[in-house]
Amino acid sequence: MLIAVIVFLAVFTVLMLLLSAVSSGSSREMKQTLARLDAIPARPQAGGAEESVDIRRREILSTLPWLNRWLEKIGLTRRLRLLLRQADLEWTVGRLVLLSITSSAVAVYLVNMRTGALPFALFLGIAAGSLPLAYVLRKRSKRFARFEELLPEAVDTMVSAIRAGHGFNSAIGLMAKEAPEPIRREFRQCYDEQNFGLELRVALANLAERVPTPDVHMIVTAVLIQQESGGNLTEILDKAAQLIRERFRLQRQVRVHTAQGRASAWVLSLVPIVLGVLMYLMNPEQMSLLWTNPAGVKLLYTGAIMLTIGIAIIRKIVRMKV
């Protein structure tokens, strides 16, 4: 009975995912329009009513109406939507959720049919269900790394524009046109938000929320302090660019010195898995005792927990914050 339920869920989610993919093209223009409207602050209604219009509630979370209504009630939806924006993916939150459910259901079904060990299948199902989110986080990290790599040159361009007589808002507009991606897109949104009527403080705070890196927070804080207390903005930005370059240089040195540790982490993480697969292919009956015998199941769980703890400790050692 349980297997039938799992198969039904897997097939159902796959069909819903295909339907979402087919209908996503027709809603792309609407999503772009609502994304631009998201920058407009809510205004009081006519007649002095204090109730304001929340445009962000209309943003499409899924092309499936029932899933869209369900996601609107979940507090985690806003965080997932922000992660997708930061990763620069054209996914909806509903598509991410359906991908996770489908991956988990298919993994549970296949592993349980092959081994007959439902607890082990559920464990692997949870791991498989987290793969779409891991992909999003990976894309997000790569985009942030690219952003920080190009940020010093972008700040230098802003400094040159300000020294040439442009205002800070005009310098942001120049970055929105001339800077490489992904800096161009983020500064374009910041520039558009100001054109829609948002204050500079709010637009920069939104930029720091979309790109929550230490360098962006430092630049935003420096600009806001300068706007409040005055000072030489070009000198502040110039020193910030130099500080970012020095931090990158130190990061490269740290990566060189920790290269052996990171390689060891990969080897120690993959060796048990690879050996387990090879031993199963060579002698399936002997390896099947790990999930058919109660003692073997306990050993399997213990090994998985110890392997996870070991990977976490190694990553903690080799990942040094600069």
Cα separation, 120 vs 220, in Å, equals: 48
**Does the pLDDT value for residue 291 go beyond 60?**
yes
Residue 56: the pLDDT is 44
Q: Read out DSSP for 123-159? A: HHHHHHHTHHHHHHHHHHHHHHHHHHHHHHHHHHHHH
Overall pTM > 0.75: no
Structure tokens at 203: 């637009």
Round the average pLDDT of the chain to a whole number and report it: 77
**Does the pLDDT value for residue 280 go beyond 60?**
yes
Residue 135: the pLDDT is 93
Q: Report the range out of 9-18, 40-49, 92-101, 116-125 with the highest average pLDDT.
A: 92-101
Choice between 58 and 87, residue whose per-residue pLDDT is larger:
87
Choice between 135 and 30, residue whose per-residue pLDDT is larger:
135
Cα separation, 319 vs 254, in Å, equals: 9
76: which residues sit within 8 A by CB, 6+ positions away? Answer: none
